[in-house]
Amino acid sequence: MSDSIRLASVTLDCPDTKLMATFYAEITGGTITNLDDHWATVICRTGRMDFQRVVGYTPPIWPDPTSSIQLHLEFYVEDRAVAELRVLKAGASKYEFQPNSEQCYVYADPAGHPFCLTTWVDMRPQTSGPAA
């Protein structure tokens, strides 16, 4: 028996699970494996994302320091310009405020969660890592 802890999934609150699953499946090349009005799941090459419907959901406000961001996702990309076209076409919006534009751009998903497309070398997917 091992005492290892591995991240299994990230779950995002949202007002529309179908919209969110469709968006993240499209931008990550993932597959929607569960889809209903209350819960949706996307499996992609680097992990799993779940979406749960919350009645009265309020999106975070970027970059308001008094607003809870709730969650901030980072996606490693090799070409930010190409990836930007993909996420904008899928329904993301790009924030005007970009605090680290040399390495990443900040966007909002359809429910308003901030996420970044980054070329920062430390964010590259790991080909090997600690034993699980």
Residue 6 has pLDDT above 90, yes or no: no
pTM summary value: 0.85
- Domains of the chain, start order: 10-53+71-123 (3.10.180.10)
* Paired residues of 47 in beta bridges: 44
d(CA 44, CA 49): 8
d(CA 82, CA 66): 33
The pLDDT tens digits of the residues spanning 32-87 come to 999 999 999 999 998 999 999 999 999 998 888 888 777 789 999 999 999 999 99
The pLDDT tens digits of the residues spanning 73-123 come to 999 999 999 999 999 999 999 999 999 999 999 999 999 999 999 998 776
Tell me if 102 sits within 8 A of 60, measured CB to CB: no
Phi-psi region of 126 (alpha: psi -120 to 50; beta: other; left: phi over 0): beta
Residue 16 has pLDDT above 50, yes or no: yes
Q: How far is CA 65 from CA 60, 69, 71, 75, 127, in A?
A: 10, 9, 14, 23, 35
pLDDT at residue 125, rounded to an integer: 65
Sign, Cα dihedral of 29, 34, 47, 63 = positive
Q: What values do phi and psi take at 120, rounded to 5?
A: -60, 125
